[in-house]
A and B are shown apart, each in its own frame.
Chain A
Amino acid sequence: MKRILIALFAIFLVLSCSSDDSGSEINNNPNDGFDRQAMLSNWVDNIIIPVYTDLNVKLGNLVNAKSSFIDDPTQGNLDNLRMAWQEAYKVWQHAEMFNVGLAESTNYIFQMNVYPTNVNDIENNIQSLNYDLGSVNNNDAVGFPALDYLLHGLGENDSEILAFYTSNANAENYKTYLSDLVDRMKTLTQSVLDDWNNGFRDNFVSNTENSATGSINLMVNDYIFFYEKGFRANKFGIPAGNFSPNPLPDRVEAFYKADFSKTLALEGIDAIQNFFNGRAYSGTSDAESLKDYLDFLNTIKEGEDLSTLINTQFDEARQKINTLNDNFAEQVQTNNVAMTETFDIIQLAVVLLKVDMLQALDISVDFVDTDGD
């Protein structure tokens, strides 16, 4: 009995502490609370859904261009198809970081942009025409990198490439595989977009809690993962040989259209910085973002201006990337030092994001939910 009374008293104390302050303070203090829900809805409504919508449109164009090409595999149609591929691939750079919801549960990202693509797997699939494109084993035989191979890598020049779709004994198989790849990318994207539009948006925006499954935590972890892995390692570090004894120029993104690799990297850094600043995908208006969240927390902490440091570091990375060869494979082969220097500059922001930002946000990177002291 006594202990029950004590427990009740404890709960009463906790509750009374809270009710004391809620009324007046919340209105008087401008620093009193950051609207996390507004940040989430800005992310979703002005960035994520517009990105997927645009990607879906661009993939729609890709499907059309593909159909024209299959009906009539001419140089002109090949050029159109390649252009459509480029347009969609650029938008993809903005979408790769959103590995939540259906995208996560269907392994969407791993079906869209795993490179280097596996030429053997692709050729085997084309020979047999017996494949499950969704299978994990085919992750490196589908998506943008596989299309890259099919559109740019089959032969030495365009007439050789066109021959695979015209005079080659397996021309029909090549067409079928090309068609299936493009259709699958479109279908997957459509379903991810539909999921966001049909309910997932509201779930996501309302889940503001600070836990491993809270939307902010999920998104911030994905964001940092994309920066560290998808951007820093895949686009720069791995080709430059930062993770292997020797440089690996054939690991660049869009290897068969390698003079496109810098364009993609620049899209990537734009996507990264825009997300950080909460900039709308279409337009230049900024709304609630990680930058604002850090600024808000800084008013409590009176620490260093972290958001400015991060933005400066992104700017420096962009500047350095601009000095590189359009063709990253060539860059690695001719002057790899510039490539590793770029990596080092990009790396500095990893520290700011992973150490300083996560500390400020008090977001955990490990999801083993163990006890603390």
Chain B
Amino acid sequence: MSIKSYLKKDTSSAPLAVFRIGFGVMMLISIIRFWSYGWIEKLYLEPQFHFSYYGFEWVKPLGDWTYLIFIICGLSAFFVVLGLKYRLSIILFFLSFTYIELMDKTTYLNHYYFISILSFVMIFLPANAYFSLDNYFRQKQYKQIPKWTIDSIKLLLGIVYFYAGLAKINSDWLFKAMPLKIWLPSKYDLPFIGENLMQQEWFHYAMSWSGMLYDLSIPFLLLYKKTRVFAFILVVFFHVFTRVLFPIGMFPYVMIVGSLIFFDAKVHSKIIKWIKSLLKVFKVKIQNLPTSNFQYPKQKIVTSFLAVFFIFQILIPFRYLLYPGELFWREEGYRFSWRVMLMEKRGYANFKVVNPKDKTYFYVDNSDFLSSFQEKQMSTQPDFILEYAHFLGEHFKSQGIEPIEIYVESYVALNGRRSQAYINPDVDLLKEYESFQPKSWILAFKDEIKGF
């Protein structure tokens, strides 16, 4: 089948409509949950300093206006559910959500990045073609849409799973059962399984290996009709189980709802029927609308663009190959690569402010400047350490300490190994700058982790 004929293929619009509703509902709940837990204040308003992504230093919390971003994000998610002004809503959602994520990289999570790029892809998908308020106002609906639109979501989900599985093929995960060997025994307070199963070494290995196999195979098991129901049961089980074990918030539910897209249109028509019957309870009248033929505008340009986007997605997780040394240790090229739950990393960073002229120095109390969460993230990631050192430099310069040099004595423990010195304590960090170049001032990792 040639690409040309593939792009001409149509499929039912019901799965995408269900996906749009599921996605919007999950996002709306996520935003409300985030707000109600007081995380806007704790993460974005209370800290006096925020860690920026390289190139996005201009994205900062906006004081009380930060709430407005969350309001926009929540409202646009709600509009996505309704399918009302869909294109505008999903663009606003993408922008506001991504802005929130860019405000402070302390909170970086792979699944936030997933939401960002998924909502970006959704900008180009006709998710309001069916069962949306846009249909009602335009007085037409589309029962068929191009197949590639739904497939692009499947591809994105597939990439997330497959790469997460690929990343698990490493010697720590498979042959040392690390970090599960640290994490699972600490769940001793779980009912029924905490004090026995969670303490068993074979169980740590079983979880490591099955986790890897699950991630690698689930996209394919979901794709093939014969294994699909079984695969979906696995998805539900896996995500519910990890939700019980780890504090991973809404992500499991997002993935469970997201995986429904792999089912064929019949299932989605049933779901829509069920939603309709639910709406009837609330006395919402559902109008039958005339059906039109969907024509994707400028399909060639959009599909070419998305193809480049996906090639980019497939390549980006491998950018770590361009850097020397151990990825887990140096974390150059670690983010945006679906490396999930691979590391138990703890650190301690003691910053030394030196005045070389007076030959005086003193240590910084990190809690004067950082929240405990920021300090935790900072102490194990070189780009955080560098950015914080520059912040300290500015701060103490303004207090009259000049000339000034900043050094760090830092130790990091990775996946149960003993802590080792992390950053070269003799390097004045104020003379180093963030870039895509390898960071020469990270000390070598005194061990080896084989694998992806």
* Contact of B279 with A by CB under 8 A: no
CB distance from B275 to the nearest CB of A (A): 14
Task: Judge whether A25 and B196 touch: CB under 8 Å.
Answer: yes
Task: Judge whether B355 and A245 touch: CB under 8 Å.
Answer: yes
* Contact of A21 with B by CB under 8 A: yes
Find the A residue at minimum CB distance from B372.
A366
Q: A339-362: which residues lie under 8 A (CB-CB) from chain B?
A: 347, 350-352, 354-356, 358-362
Task: Judge whether B372 and A365 touch: CB under 8 Å.
Answer: yes
Count, chain B residues at interface, CB 8 A: 65
The stretch of B82-90, B217-225, B343-351 that contacts the partner chain: B343-351
CA distance A360 to B418 in the complex (A): 10
Of A214, A303, A359, A369, which is in contact with the most chain B CB atoms at under 10 Å from its CB? A359
Which secondary structure characterizes the binding site on chain B? mixed
Which A residues are CB-close (under 8 A) to B195? 26, 32-33
CA distance A90 to B193 in the complex (A): 45
* Contact of A159 with B by CB under 8 A: no
Task: Judge whether B109 and A371 touch: CB under 8 Å.
Answer: yes
Which B residues are CB-close (under 8 A) to A297? 185
Task: Judge whether B363 and A243 touch: CB under 8 Å.
Answer: yes
Which A residues are CB-close (under 8 A) to B241? 10, 14
CA distance A221 to B417 in the complex (A): 21
Determine which of A17, A32, A209, A347 lies in contact with B193 in the assembled complex, contact meaning CB atoms within 8 Å: A17
Task: Judge whether A303 and B233 touch: CB under 8 Å.
Answer: no
Which B residues are CB-close (under 8 A) to A36? 188
By size class, the interface of chain A is: 35 or more
Q: B390-438: which residues lie under 8 A (CB-CB) from chain A?
A: 401, 411-413, 416-419
The stretch of B132-140, B245-253, B290-298 that contacts the partner chain: B245-253
Task: Judge whether B200 and A21 touch: CB under 8 Å.
Answer: yes
Task: Judge whether A359 and B372 touch: CB under 8 Å.
Answer: no
Which B residues are CB-close (under 8 A) to A208? 188-189
Task: Judge whether B418 and A210 touch: CB under 8 Å.
Answer: no
Digit string of A330-345 for contact with B (CB within 8 Å is 1, else 0)?
0000000000000000
CA distance A293 to B199 in the complex (A): 13
CA distance A11 to B193 in the complex (A): 13
* Contact of B282 with A by CB under 8 A: no
Which A residues are CB-close (under 8 A) to B147? none
Digit string of A261-304 for contact with B (CB within 8 Å is 1, else 0)?
00000000000000000000000000000000000010011011
Q: What 5 A-B pairs are tightest by C-beta distance, nearest first?
A: A371-B249, A362-B186, A18-B192, A366-B372, A18-B193
Beyond known contacts A22-B196, A373-B341: 5 more, CB 8 A cutoff: A6-B236, A208-B188, A355-B346, A360-B416, A368-B371
Query: What are some 5 contacts across the A-B interface (CB < 8 A)?
Result: A6-B236, A245-B362, A246-B360, A350-B348, A369-B247
